[in-house]
Structure 1
Amino acid sequence: MGDEKHMKDPSALPHSPPHGSEEELRGLLSALPEKAAVRGMLFNAVLEVVRQRGGEAAVQRCLAALGERQFLDFFSYPSGKYLEVLYAAARLGSGEKEDFETALRQLGQQAAENFLVSAAGRTLLVLVQGDPHRLLNKLPWAILVGVSGVEVDVKPTGPWSGVLTVKGDFSPRPFVEGGFLATFEAAKVKGTKVRSWQAEPGVNAYELSWT
């Protein structure tokens, strides 16, 4: 995958704030791309998990904290609000049996599932017809349906693998990993695995492989 120094996970470095901490969240918020925005469908996916874990009262508390009454699926909203609700939902799910990263992956899975039942998501599955290479090449389009202000590049690395590089990526990597795994599963691609690393500040890389 190239020089190992580019594959080190900065989250493991001593100066990095703890996963799920307010310090980590504030750092992500301060680094948001200027035009970053997120579709309401992703907010609603996260809020559905909040509803499952904390009930309708928890959802209303999140909405009130964000200054919103509801999120419309195909309207765009500030990414800062999205990160705040994402962290709030992951904290609800993390505890003795589930850590913060696992909670983020499950949230990513829920977000992908919400997208895949939309018209755009159903179109994606029809277009790729279970072909992992087609799906890999269509992922940039799928990402940009839900998120703006990022650039996505795809590089096949073999007959059963490829790497997506996301510039201006503000989403926590475990969340994105969960979304990719759910999407490949929905496309009936077998043996999918994903790993990620920070290639450089503001640029994350995701290696997807399958059998």
Structure 2
Amino acid sequence: MDLAPDSATVRGLIFNAVFKLVKQHHGDAASNELRATVSKKPLVDFFSYSARDFLQVLYQAAELLAPQYGSHESAIRACGAAAVGGFFDSGVGRTLTHIIGKGDPKRLFSSAPTAYSTTVSYGQREYALLGERKLRLRFTGDMQPVEFHQGLLEAALQGIGCQGRIEVQRRGLDAADYIIEW
């Protein structure tokens, strides 16, 4: 939480994906109670909200979801997967998948720096191709747990119809490399 400056924001879409995942496992009451920790009203997908609030929501959701997923880390990965799953289910996500095409991770992840910058107001992301079926996304100045991004990136691969793996190389408290192979 200390890494998150007051000015750091996250789009409501990411919050709402976590609320939806909690609802799937624990019902409306638990989801509404979690949302009430940051707002009395529903959050709008494309409005920006405090990243500190999101971290609070994420860790509370992980606490609730850990029994279903086996650990807090796995629950955080599931929240990341839910965030991208909600995106791929949206009209914008379906359009993006159509433009990118199925089975083209290089094309998808080359756009990751731009996609992330439209979703959060902090950090930098860099794309580097490491081989025919391998690439690296480098995140710097990012306060989300690496498990969140790992789950998100795994779900993004699945969203375009690819099987693969994400290796995380931590570079500090707010920096990590995500090596993606398929």
TM-score norm. by structure 1 comes to 0.80
Unaligned runs of 5+ in 2: none
Aligned equivalent of 1:21: none
How many residue pairs get matched?
A: 181
| Partner Cα distance (1:198, 1:34) in 2 | 24
Kindly provide the CA deviation profile for residues 118-172 of structure 1, in whole angstroms up to 9, marking residues without a partner as x.
2332232122212121112012222223222121101111111011011111111
TM-score norm. by structure 2 comes to 0.92
Q: How far has the Cα of 1:97 moved from its partner?
A: 6.2
What is the aligned-residue identity percentage? 31
Matched, 1:75 2:47: yes
Q: In angstroms, what is the RMSD of aligned CA positions?
A: 1.6
| Partner Cα distance (1:69, 1:63) in 2 | 8
SS class of match (1:30): coil
Greater than 3 Å deviation, 4+ residue runs: none
Kindly provide the CA deviation profile for residues 16-37 of structure 1, in whole angstroms up to 9, marking residues without a partner as x.
xxxxxxxxxxxxx101145321
Unaligned runs of 5+ in 1: 1-28
Map 1:1-211 → 2, pairs under 5 A: 29-33=1-5, 35-95=7-67, 98-130=70-102, 131-189=104-162, 191-210=163-182
Aligned equivalent of 1:8: none
Q: How far has the Cα of 1:63 moved from its partner?
A: 2.2
Kindly provide the CA deviation profile for residues 95-136 of structure 1, in whole angstroms up to 9, marking residues without a partner as x.
386111111111111111111122332232122212121112
The structure number with the bigger radius of gyration is: 1
Indicate how the Cα distance of structure 1 residues 50 and 96 shifts in structure 2: closer, same or farther if over 3 A, else same.
closer
